Structure 1
Amino acid sequence: MRILIHGINFAPELTGIGKYTGEMARWLAREGHEVRVVTAPPYYPDWRIGNDYSAVRYLRQAYPSGCGEMTMYRCPLWVPASPSGGKRLVHLASFAASSLPVMLAQVRWRPDLVLVIAPTLFCAPMAALVARVAGAKSWLHIQDFEVDAAFGLGMLQSTQARRWFLGAESQLLRRFDRVSTISDRMMDRLADKGVPTSRRVLFRNWTDTKAIYPLAAPSGFRDELDIADDSRVVLYAGNLGEKQGLDVLIDAARRTACDESIIWVIAGAGSARVKLEARSVDLPNVRWLPLQPMEKLNELLNLADIHVLPQRADAADLVMPSKLTGMLASGRPVVATAAEGTQVASIVSECGICVPPEDADALAKALSELADDGKRRYALGAKARHYAERHLGYEQIMRNFEFEAEALVNGAADTVEDDA
């Protein structure tokens, strides 16, 4: 197949949506598909354009030889230093505008499938148009329900704007031959938004269980951070953004500061890091690490005795934390702040502990109890690894996507107008 992918985030971004889109594109290219990617220069999670890239120039890149045929088109965009609600909209719109001519030029290539990644929905109308003009099938993959999240997290607040955006979103979703998302609860939300059953596809995020696995020996990061062998490490590794609800980590760390055997390690980058570091400056039980390269990710995840996963109540089932897949694959238990009935809670309840969102007392208590119970940590960690192997395998998920895409392109899975 000739596959055209349109999305603002892409490799070499190490976290979030860019990581998954990059791994998806590489897999498809290795399997012999012709892949073109229209994207932006890497900027996430630091909200700063990466070295050797430009925010104002177009760039065409060829994928390294021997890994299939893939071409990337980097388009200019504006990156705000402080990504507030209004600035985020301008940021997303800048990429949609700059990528428009590049997307239109791909009509001559005659793709078989046009796949657009949301965020950002700003790009979806042009992707649908390019697919129609080129005679291709169209596929929208939703990593975050960005409209719901923008209002749920208070980034946008106008009631009139909410009605307009949700109405426009619903109309837009119906224009695609397939709409996929990454969790069962998010699939339910697609149904609520009027996407027919025949067009909905579950396309989970994955983890490479061969690259992320439990180590037989202690992580080398223990020596680097001077952590004693008998200390238990509570690890948060990932994006340090505003919508993660990360203040609860510092609050819980403060409540466990009297227990010298519990060490908190927070690793990552993002717009909230400076504020969080400032709040923890007086806490001797908190250590900080920068965002780690992929080759050190398994070592980092194995630093944990317990992974901690905060989630804001107002973001439940609007996003599915991508970092959870690696946590599970590392074979360590997870303590999550997630409301009962959410997708995160349904997964973590099998291999960890869930406490109410934004409840630092409950989080500190759960972590302390689990830190003192080695047998329970081991049992829950084994269940986490089993879940990852059974449900989150990279190869299995990509094979399923390839099967669905080929069926769509070849007409074996024709769209039904409405059976929702």
Structure 2
Amino acid sequence: MRILIYAHAFAPRIGGAETYVMLLARGLAARGEVRRVTVATPTPAEGFDDTELPFAVVRRPSLPALWRLVGTAEVVLLAGPCFVPLAMALLRRRPVVVEHHGYQAVCPNGLLLQEPSKAVCPGHFMQRRYARCVRCVRATDGTRRAVAKVMATFARRWMCLAADAHVAITAHVARRTALSRTEVVYYGVPDPGRAGDGQAPTLPTFAYVGRLVGEKGLPLLLEAARALKDEGWRFRVKIIGDGPERAALERRTMSSGLSEEVIFTGALRGQALEAAVRDASAVVMPSICEETAGLAAIEQMMRGRPVVAADIGGLGEVVDGAGLKFAPGDARGLTACLRRVLQDPALADELGRRARQRAVDVFGVERMVDGHLAVFRRLIASRAAAGARARG
């Protein structure tokens, strides 16, 4: 089986889709039935050593080169409905699978988040309220780009309808994208074993891991922290990550009188990240947008850390009954969840065990690879059967 994966973003960039492509490509390359895995991406190497990988990487391919790669693949997997490679796969009649990590097939801004209000979008594009879509995108990108993005969504949606199959990373994404021939295959993450207890922290600690952007709902976490401090609780909050909202969040931390409680670490990876979350009583995910999955939550669940999360989109689905959930945007609800962790350390330990068990059962790398191979086999067999019928 010769597999081409096209990823708009890839290593050395950091993100959920980038991590998924790396893990999936490695897993596929290790399977005996797979003869070749190639990742094509416009992302420059920037010093990253592709020769260390067990699969081929073609960076910044020209259009003729990408055309050839598509033509020699037995199946093409797109990490998102990428316009040009999707069009090429359809023109070359190659079996093509679109993996949906976002909502680009149903939303011009890809987030299903209305601007500038930051309210969850009910699905204006699919309800043919295109003027609402233009107003939304115009708030951040201007009128010209808003019109262009809405028009591009028409073309992207039409091509997705022509694709052979789709993979959604949660059942929530499958419902929102509303495309036939969709299989749900959850993210898989490596299993490093449950995090050791280590030395008990001097103060209970809550950690956030992720980008510092508006849709992640971090002001809500600061509001909950202020409420807990007013109640007399002593604790620490670690905000791990970076992004355009960092300066505003740091200012809000100062003005809220939380400088002693809240620590901003910046973006961390590998051992530095593990060291930063080692003493976390719980990981907090206060998103106000419909997260497609919540890879950071899955990674921490695999380490046996309890998760406190907004019950929204794929994030609520991922956490399921293995953590504490609150209504999105509900500062009192979040405060109540954090208070429960502070009041009952045994509860946090039990939630950690539950989280790890769910992650092992549902979010393993091998399960993710198996799910994709099942889709690929079915498409290749279907094409072979169709060819045999055509030959009489």
1:213 equivalent in structure 2: 194
Q: 1:374 aligns with which of 345, 351, 354?
A: 345
Give me the whole-angstrom Cα distance separating, in 2, the residues matched to 1:29 and 1:348.
30
Q: Could you list the per-position Cα deviations for residues 26-77 of structure 1 after superposition, in whole angstroms to 9, with x for gaps in the alignment? A: 22223354122222337xxxxxxx8548xxxxxxx7432xx533123146xx
What are the Cα deviations for residues 211-241 of structure 1, in whole angstroms up to 9, with x where unaligned? 25221324xxxxxxxxx83411101012222
TM-score for both structures, normalised by structure 1: 0.75
Whether contact under 8 Å (2:111, 2:290) holds in the other structure is: no
- 2:279, 2:26 → 1: CA distance? 29
Give the superposition deviation at 1:134.
4.2
- Using the TM superposition, give the Cα deviation of residue 290 of structure 1 relative to its aligned residue in structure 2, in angstroms: 2.3
Q: What secondary structure sits across from 1:350 in the alignment?
A: helix
Query: Is contact 2:6–2:41 with CA below 8 Å preserved after alignment?
Result: yes
Given the superposition, is the C-alpha separation of residues 69 and 20 from structure 1 closer, same or farther in structure 2, using an over 3 Å criterion? closer
Encode CA deviations 1:311-364: one digit per residue, 9 max, x unaligned. Answer: 21xx326x222212112112122111225xx44334435122222212223212
* Structure-1 residue corresponding to 2:140: none
TM-score where L is the length of structure 2: 0.79
Residue matched to 1:73? 59
**For 2:10, what is the secondary structure of its paired residue?**
coil
* Aligned amino acid, residue 41 of structure 1: T
Tell whether the 8 Å contact from 1:4 to 1:115 is kept in structure 2 after alignment. yes
Task: Report what 2:315 is aligned to.
Answer: 344
Partner of 1:10: 10
Q: Is the 8 A contact 1:144 1:320 kept in 2?
A: no
Partner residue of 1:103? 66
- Mapped to 2, the partners of 1:414 and 1:366 lie a distance apart of 54
Q: Which residue of 1 aligns with 2:263?
A: 287
- Tell me, yes or no, if structure 1 residue 321 matches structure 2 residue 294: yes
Aligned to 1:113: 75
Q: Partners of 1:102 and 1:297 in 2: how far apart? A: 38
Provide Cα deviations, 1:176-217, integer angstroms capped at 9, x if missing partner: 1111111112112233xxx22xx21112112212x2522132
Alignment partner of 1:309 out of 280, 285, 291:
285
Structure 1 residue identity aligned to 2:253 = S
Which of 120, 142, 156 is the matching residue for 2:100?
142
Give 1:38's aligned amino acid: A
Using the alignment, how far apart are the partners of 1:201 and 1:72 within structure 2? 28
| Structure 2 CA distance for aligned equivalents of residues 291 and 73 of structure 1 | 25
Query: Cα–Cα, structure 1 residues 295 and 413, in superposed 2: closer, same or farther, change >3 Å?
Result: farther
Percent of pairs with identical residues:
23
2:25 is equivalent to residue 25 of structure 1: yes
Confirm or deny that 1:202 pairs with 2:184.
Answer: yes
Partner of 2:121: none
Are 2:12 and 2:46, in contact at CA under 8 Å, matched by a contact in 1?
A: no
Taking a change above 3 Å as real, the CA distance of residues 151 and 365 of structure 1, as seen in their structure-2 partners, is: closer
Match of 1:158 among 135, 156, 179: 135
SS at match of 2:324: strand
